[in-house]
Structure 1
Amino acid sequence: MAAPQGADVRLEDQQKINTFSRLNTRLHELEAQLTAKKADAEDLEEAGNEVMLLDDETVPYVVGECLVHLPREEVEERLQTALDEAQAGIKEVEGEMRRVKAQMGELKTLLYARFGSSINLEE
Structure 2
Amino acid sequence: MMRRQWHLQKAERGSDSEVTWEDQQNINKFGRLNNRFHELEDEIKICKETNENFEDASNELILTDEEVVRFQIGEVFAHVPKEEVESRIEKMKETTDRNLEKLEQEKEMILAQMAELKKILYGKFKDSINLEED
The normalised TM-score by structure 1 is: 0.96
The correspondence for 2:62, drawn from 52, 68, 71, is 52
* Structure in which a larger fraction of residues adopt helix: 1
Is residue 84 of structure 1 aligned with residue 91 of structure 2?
A: no
Moved more, 17-26 or 1-10: 1-10
Identity %: 43
Tell me if structure 1 keeps the 8 A contact 2:26–2:117.
Answer: yes
Corresponding pairs, count: 123
Whichever residue aligns with residue 36 of structure 2, its letter is R
Tell me which residue corresponds to 2:21: 11
The normalised TM-score by structure 2 is: 0.88
* Partners of 2:67 and 2:30 in 1: CA distance: 55
Residue ranges of structure 2 left out of the alignment (5+ in a row): 1-7
Tell me if structure 1 keeps the 8 A contact 2:15–2:128.
Answer: no
Deviation per residue, 1:77-123 (Å, 9 max, x gap)? 00011111111111111111001101101100100111111111111
Counterparts of residues 84-103 of structure 1 (less than 5 Å): 84-103=94-113
Is residue 30 of structure 1 aligned with residue 40 of structure 2?
A: yes
Whichever residue aligns with residue 102 of structure 1, its letter is A
How much does 1:5 deviate?
Answer: 2.2
Residue ranges of structure 1 left out of the alignment (5+ in a row): none
